[in-house]
A and B are shown apart, each in its own frame.
Chain A
């Protein structure tokens, strides 16, 4: 399952010295590549993504594979290191000749490998939720974007809790751009962002922020905090006796298993909006979670939106291959553009041909006792933010990430 570094080095050595061996055993199988951080700081995001990729591929293989051939996944672990991303993407596109590549967790890693795969004309799927705006015909993005999640969460928060919003965000492109969206959607909902604070990923001391929040007395706090260090905010918030005093909403809380790691006293009541929660009550999701636990055991990591969107991504690709009856990149792209819907665990995920993003159901959940209870669901939300700037039907050669103002 997991590729050890030694195994990987060995495999690379064999692949480099004798490329024909690689091609030889791949003759019958379809080889696809996955590049997700399975160690290092981002491991907590990578593990459930990797598991859901495995689940989707094994389902396809059990159903007879694609074009009568089995699918084989070559896994690369970039160890939370961007340099390894570029190296592995090049390798997947050239020596491995992968039919398609699934990979990238942070936006930085995506922007590192997207140009490479585009240059080598290798089809690329990016599945984590992100800040929106990528417009590239070679790339399909199955995760949610701000208009889908923040666009639902903000009206919900302003309606239920009040107009004054205080934002705490991670200090890199995801947090900065998402904060712009929060401002935008808060204004549209009739509220106001009274302050936004940004924290580098190594910050663990939030006591000044906690006192500032108490001085400003917002009606609701919006967190876009990321990673293990930032979980300290919720600890210190609870230790200051503030838990439950001011409602907290978020579009990142839960994506890094915050609700599992923190105690219920620290995390209960935090509300998050995602395209997927493991607790969604639907026959499709209950069957999915059952299959997931049968395959990986009861201790398997919590399925995040990143992971369920990866499951959808694999099936979108399979839809394209079946429809095109070919592995040819352009044929598969055109087949997916002509319409692909996956009835995924979080609800239907439908490709939007103009943006290569997905219309998806969005849910608002509230943390309770290490899990989420679903408060509201919104069916079939379009990727409106990216659609406002990107039209690949009209401009198929467009290839950039728009920064949406």
Chain B
């Protein structure tokens, strides 16, 4: 019984984790149709930002929740201005450009930070369920993810800024003719997506440590989650994270981590065969 509860809690943790690493990519891909292959490196740099801040004596929560997203948002603004702005509407070109960027960022991080793992200790302790001891941090993280998703949903659904963002996403020309400046919307969207990637990096730093090449381990999972989710940024990512995270965790518990990943990929393949436009391409259509 305790074990069942523990597995259930682990599923919550895994879903939160998957949603966290996917949401930055989802915002940029869903809103702008730009596939940001440097997403994993944004996570990595967010992690470094948090760790260096902590090492400089800054409070760990401030470092993870404020400094990491802010610094990656700034990076996102610069990259949008220098690279992405020139490539809107050319999906393959944005993939190539952001892949190049990903390699560049890995190289720079290796050169300046060294090719070794750095880490910080988790800021919260552990708790017990019967015979089992669990880290509380996973659930703090899941709570933060819940807040981010609820906030994102509310902004897109109920505010004027959200309306403008959704309008630009649906029909750029029409939005433009109604007096909205798409390039500005895109710049802000890219910055927000980058900030969310940075937040993911900051929050993951105590769990996994930070290594210049760590992004590679996340990009594939994040990408699959976003594609499975479909057109709706928030609802889609939340649904697909829940689905894939549960499948992944349950099969990891029952079998091995390798087969857990196999099950995740298999499930995604089947879903995309049945629902080629993602979950929200068919159900919950039009939700933000």
Contact = CB atoms under 8 A, between A and B. Distances in A.
Interface stretch (A205-213, A328-336, A337-345): A205-213
Interface stretch (A20-28, A233-241, A368-376): A233-241
A203 B257 contact: yes
Interface stretch (A35-43, A55-63, A388-396): A35-43
20 contacts: A40-B115, A41-B115, A197-B256, A202-B217, A204-B214, A207-B10, A207-B135, A211-B7, A232-B207, A232-B208, A235-B119, A235-B207, A235-B209, A236-B207, A238-B121, A239-B207, A240-B126, A241-B126, A241-B133, A261-B117
Contact of B116 (A44, A202, A205, A240): A44
9 A-B pairs with the lowest CB-CB distances in the bound complex, closest first: A241-B126, A239-B135, A228-B117, A204-B208, A239-B122, A240-B135, A208-B252, A241-B133, A202-B217
Contacts of B110: 39
A240 B124 CA distance: 10
A199 interface: yes
Contacts of B6: 211
Contacts of A40: 115
A204 B217 contact: yes
Contacts of B206: 235, 239
Contacts of B3: 211, 215
Nearest to A42: B115
B31 interface: no
Nearest to B128: A241
Contacts of A209: 257
B260 A208 contact: yes
A108 interface: no
Contacts of A266: 121
Interface in B1-28: 3, 6-7, 10, 13-14, 17
B213 A41 contact: yes
B135 to A, nearest CB: 4
A296 to B, nearest CB: 16
A260 to B, nearest CB: 9
Contacts of B131: 214-215, 217
A201 to B, nearest CB: 9
B117 A263 contact: no
Contacts of A199: 257-258
Contacts of B133: 214, 240-242, 245
B118 A229 contact: no
Nearest to A263: B121
Contacts of B116: 43-44, 228, 257, 261
Nearest to A261: B117
A171 interface: yes
A229 B208 contact: yes
B134 interface: yes
B1 to A, nearest CB: 12
Interface string A262-273: 110110000000
Contacts of A43: 115-116
**Size category of the binding interface on chain A:** 35 or more
A97 B9 CA distance: 61
A44 to B, nearest CB: 5
B118 A261 contact: yes
Contact of A265 (B121, B135, B217, B257): B121
B126 A239 contact: yes
Nearest to A41: B213
B265 interface: no
B253 interface: yes
Interface of A: 39-41, 43-44, 171, 197-200, 202-205, 207-209, 211-212, 214-215, 217, 228-229, 231-232, 235-236, 238-242, 245, 257, 261-263, 265-266
B7 to A, nearest CB: 7
Interface residues of B, number: 43
Contacts of B118: 261
Contact of B138 (A39, A207, A242): A207
Interface in B152-181: none
Interface string B131-142: 111110110000
Interface string B41-71: 0000000000000000000000000000000
Contacts of A44: 115-116
B211 A205 contact: no
Most A CB atoms within 10 A — which of B3, B117, B119, B121? Answer: B117
B259 to A, nearest CB: 11
A44 B217 CA distance: 19
A83 to B, nearest CB: 17
A266 B110 CA distance: 25
B109 interface: no
B216 interface: yes
Contacts of B138: 207
B214 A229 contact: yes
A214 B133 CA distance: 8
A44 B212 CA distance: 13
A361 B16 CA distance: 48
A216 to B, nearest CB: 11
B208 A205 contact: yes
Nearest to A37: B115
A235 B252 CA distance: 19
A215 B118 CA distance: 30
Contacts of A240: 126, 133-135
A242 B132 CA distance: 9
A241 B124 CA distance: 10
Given A205-B14, A208-B252, A211-B7, A228 B257 contact: no
B121 A208 contact: no
A217 B132 CA distance: 10
A211 B132 contact: yes
A58 B153 CA distance: 65
Given A171-B258, A212-B253, A238-B121, A231 B10 contact: no
A204 B207 contact: yes
Contacts of A257: 116
B217 A208 contact: no
B119 A231 contact: yes
B257 A200 contact: yes
A217 B209 CA distance: 27
Contacts of B117: 228, 231, 261
B249 interface: yes
A229 B216 CA distance: 11
